[in-house]
Amino acid sequence: MSVGNKLALLVFILPIISIVIVFAVIIYYFRPSFDAKTILETVSTLVSLVLVDLLVWERLRDSLSKKFEYHQTDLTKIYSCFKLSSLFEIKRLLEDMKKGRDDLKRYAKFMCILLYPKKLPERIDKFLPLYEDFDENLQKIIQIAGIKPGRVSDISTLCYHLGFAGAWNYNQLKECIKKAEELLKSHAKLVSESKVLWDDLNTLKEQIIRELEVFSKANNFRLEPVI
């Protein structure tokens, strides 16, 4: 359900239903004492309450629309971090990710309506410590293999041969294969732990991307990934 529909349900539909039910009960129990004038006044009061509620809903809808538009920037930043970056590159975007998460948790709420996918902060909170563990292992692997930090293509090619998904750097292919074989023999536990972390991180990454895309479609706005 879109945030607009949630607001309509909370502020307009449910109150209107409640008002109608209350008036229906009153009319039913007191109908013997109702004359034409009383019925007219009752109906007039009912219509007035409905109109007031409609006016309140329209004002709140405008406020919601403005606030939601503002927080779409945070959603786009988070989406971009996960959509456009591999796990080998995402480290430089962690601060943007944390800031976006914090802004959403603190401010992206209208009344009791969340302006982001409900589980998004929870998934990011789970992702961050897992990534720290993975990055720690990755730095050990890089150091043992003698690869210069920042050589993403070399690192991803090495990790491919260690069992992770990664890109191929044909210029370093033979060297990476040899280093991978040595690491698999001498540091099997480190490699195994890193692979488990890699799989868990990619699962979370895909969940976050999918939930943001579903949320954007439900709320009729486009996530334009920009780094």
Q: Could you tell me if residue 2 is inside a domain?
A: no
State the residue range of the domain holding 130: 69-218
Q: So what's the pLDDT on residue 215? A: 94
pLDDT band for position 90 (cuts 50, 70, 90): confident
Q: Could you tell me if residue 176 is inside a domain?
A: yes
Q: So what's the pLDDT on residue 211? A: 94
Q: So what's the pLDDT on residue 168? A: 65
225 has pLDDT over 70: no
Q: Could you tell me if residue 211 is inside a domain?
A: yes
Q: Could you tell me if residue 223 is inside a domain?
A: no
When pLDDT is averaged across residues 132-147 and rounded to a whole number, the result is 89
pLDDT one-digit tens code per residue, 94-127? 888 888 899 999 999 998 899 999 999 999 999 9
Check if the beta carbon of residue 115 is closer than 8 Å to that of residue 108.
yes
When pLDDT is averaged across residues 151-167 and rounded to a whole number, the result is 80
Cα(99)–Cα(94) distance, rounded to whole angstroms? 9
pLDDT band for position 21 (cuts 50, 70, 90): confident
Q: So what's the pLDDT on residue 155? A: 84
Cα(194)–Cα(163) distance, rounded to whole angstroms? 10
Q: Could you tell me if residue 4 is inside a domain?
A: no
28 has pLDDT over 80: no
Structure-model confidence comparison of residues 152 and 167, the more confident one? 152
Q: So what's the pLDDT on residue 227? A: 54
Query: Of the spans 181-190, 191-200, 218-227, which averages the highest pLDDT?
Result: 191-200
pLDDT band for position 52 (cuts 50, 70, 90): confident
Q: Could you tell me if residue 57 is inside a domain?
A: no
Average pLDDT of the chain?
Answer: 85
Cα(225)–Cα(227) distance, rounded to whole angstroms? 7
Contacts of 123 (CB under 8 A, 6+ apart): 204, 207, 208, 211
Q: Could you tell me if residue 61 is inside a domain?
A: no
Q: So what's the pLDDT on residue 27? A: 73
Reference 56, options 17, 24, 16; nearest CA is 16
Give how many domains the chain has, as a whole number. 1
205 has pLDDT over 80: yes
Q: Could you tell me if residue 10 is inside a domain?
A: no
